[in-house]
């Protein structure tokens, strides 16, 4: 095996410019394909998440005319109580406040979630800590020290935060909205409703908007909307952009496939004399095949690894304005698996074509 790898590296080095060109083209095509695949998988996951949520109406709060916000909060505890009157107690409110502490050389980061304990059936006078917040608690990083400490319940609502996200949260009563008003930005507020609970959801949402605009309309704009319907309306143009990216990646890979197939057919013509000598000296077709496979696989694998890595980096670090705001883009293991499967398929086909030419000729013809 070591001999095969050394020989493959030597052969690639002798044809290094061609090898680098093929690796670069493979990496470029794979990176575009993986990036577009991750965008598509993230969009599909968001559609499925919203479709499965019971709370299908949400409140959006934005700053009017992008002006600088003064000290006035966008939503107060009094507002929440008024919304409960308008909606008949059907408002589900979470205020998600990021917390960051530094102690010695360690840093601790988690979310302080203010919630209505009556809606969640939690014990008043307590704070609830997730599994990933225990280190911060152990060193005294407690944003709500006046409350008794409890472990986070295993079953928590999924209407806003996904199940795994609760592990990095500390839950405190909604009454802390008054104490922490200066830390609450509009993006931290998540008010949701189940439209099925209202005979006339449009009228209720209109009343909510009218009340909040009247109270805070000098600085903020309020809108109650259906995230699933809005995503469905906007996702078609997103899917078109993703398809363009995906087709570009596939086109680059197709050009790579034709290129590598042509190059190795030409290389075979220059190497067939050496193959013939090896066969005449006792080497088997299987051994020659192993050498060819190792060389092609090494080049394709290098291009695929670089391409998948670049696509993954682009997924988490590149925003080209395709996705709708609010969708968290994540890498997909399935997309990476498809990329490596494509690499294996290309390798197998090119090796097969070259081997057919090798096996189809007589040893004397190969030497000549």
For residue range 4-34, list pLDDT tens digits in order.
566 666 666 667 777 788 888 889 999 999 9
pLDDT of residue 295: 80
Backbone angles phi, psi at 76, to 5 degrees: -115, 170
- Position 363 scores a pLDDT of 46
Give me the pLDDT at residue 237, please: 76
Specify the pLDDT at position 134.
86
Model pLDDT for residues 173-197, shown as the tens digit of each residue = 999 998 888 888 888 899 988 888 8
Residue the block writes with tokens 């995906």: 246
From the CB of residue 181, how many other CB atoms can be counted at a distance below 10 Å? Answer: 15
| Contact residues for 241 (Cβ-Cβ < 8 A; gap 6+) | 322
Paired with 303 in beta bridges are none
Closest CA to 268 of 260, 232, 286, 224: 260
- Number of other residues whose CB lies within 10 A of the CB of residue 276: 20
Q: Which residue(s) pair with 193 in the sheet? A: 57
DSSP 78: H
Q: How far apart are the first and last CA of the chain?
A: 29
Give me the half-sphere count of Cα atoms (radius 13 Å) on the Cβ side of residue 170.
26
Question: Of all helices (H) and strands (E), which one includes residue 193?
Answer: strand 189-193
Count CB-CB contacts under 10 A for residue 244: 12
pLDDT of residue 364: 41
Per-position pLDDT tens, the chain of length 368: 565 566 666 666 667 777 788 888 889 999 999 999 998 888 888 777 666 666 778 898 988 765 555 568 899 999 999 999 999 999 999 999 998 888 777 888 899 999 999 888 889 999 999 888 888 888 888 999 989 999 988 776 665 555 557 888 999 999 999 888 888 888 889 998 888 888 898 899 999 999 999 988 888 999 998 877 767 766 777 778 888 888 888 898 888 888 888 887 777 667 666 666 666 676 666 777 777 788 888 888 999 999 999 999 988 887 766 666 667 788 899 999 999 999 999 888 888 887 777 776 554 454 45
Q: Do the Cβ atoms of 339 and 66 come closer than 8 Å?
A: no
What does R_g of the chain's alpha carbons equal in angstroms?
30
Alpha carbon distance 224, 191 (integer Å) = 9
Global confidence as pTM: 0.61
């Amino acid at each position: 095996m070591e001999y095969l790898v050394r020989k493959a590296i030597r052969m690639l080095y002798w044809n290094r410019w061609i090898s680098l060109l093929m690796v670069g083209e493979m990496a470029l095509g794979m990176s575009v394909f993986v990036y577009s695949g991750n965008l598509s998988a993230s969009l599909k996951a968001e559609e499925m998440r919203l479709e499965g949520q019971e709370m299908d109406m949400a409140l959006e709060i934005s700053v009017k005319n992008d002006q600088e916000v003064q000290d006035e909060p966008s939503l107060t505890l009094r507002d929440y109580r008024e919304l409960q009157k308008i909606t008949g107690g059907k408002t589900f409110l979470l205020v998600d406040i990021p917390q960051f502490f530094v102690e010695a050389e360690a840093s601790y980061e988690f979310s302080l979630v203010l919630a209505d304990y009556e809606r969640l059936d939690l014990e008043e006078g307590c704070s609830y800590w997730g599994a990933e917040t225990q280190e911060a608690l152990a060193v005294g990083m407690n944003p709500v020290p006046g409350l008794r400490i409890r472990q986070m319940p295993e079953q928590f609502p999924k209407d806003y935060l996904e199940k795994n996200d609760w592990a990095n949260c500390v839950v405190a009563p909604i009454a802390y909205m008054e104490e922490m008003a200066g830390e609450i930005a509009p993006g931290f507020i998540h008010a949701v409703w189940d439209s099925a609970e209202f005979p006339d959801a449009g009228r209720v949402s209109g009343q909510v908007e009218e009340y909040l605009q009247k109270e805070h309309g000098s600085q903020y704009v309020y809108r109650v909307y259906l995230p699933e319907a809005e995503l469905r309306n906007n996702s078609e143009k997103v899917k078109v952009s993703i398809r363009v990216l995906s087709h570009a990646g596939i086109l680059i890979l197709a050009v790579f496939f034709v290129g590598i197939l042509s190059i190795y057919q030409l290389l075979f013509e220059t190497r067939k004399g050496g193959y013939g000598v090896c066969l005449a000296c006792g080497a088997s077709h299987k051994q020659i095949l192993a050498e060819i496979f190792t060389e092609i696989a090494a080049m394709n694998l290098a291009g695929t690894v670089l391409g998948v890595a670049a696509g993954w980096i682009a997924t988490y670090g590149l925003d080209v304005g395709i996705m709708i705001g609010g969708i968290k883009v994540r890498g997909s293991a399935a997309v990476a698996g498809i990329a490596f499967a494509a690499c294996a398929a290309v390798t197998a086909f090119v090796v097969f074509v070259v081997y057919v030419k090798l096996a189809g000729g007589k040893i004397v013809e190969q030497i000549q």
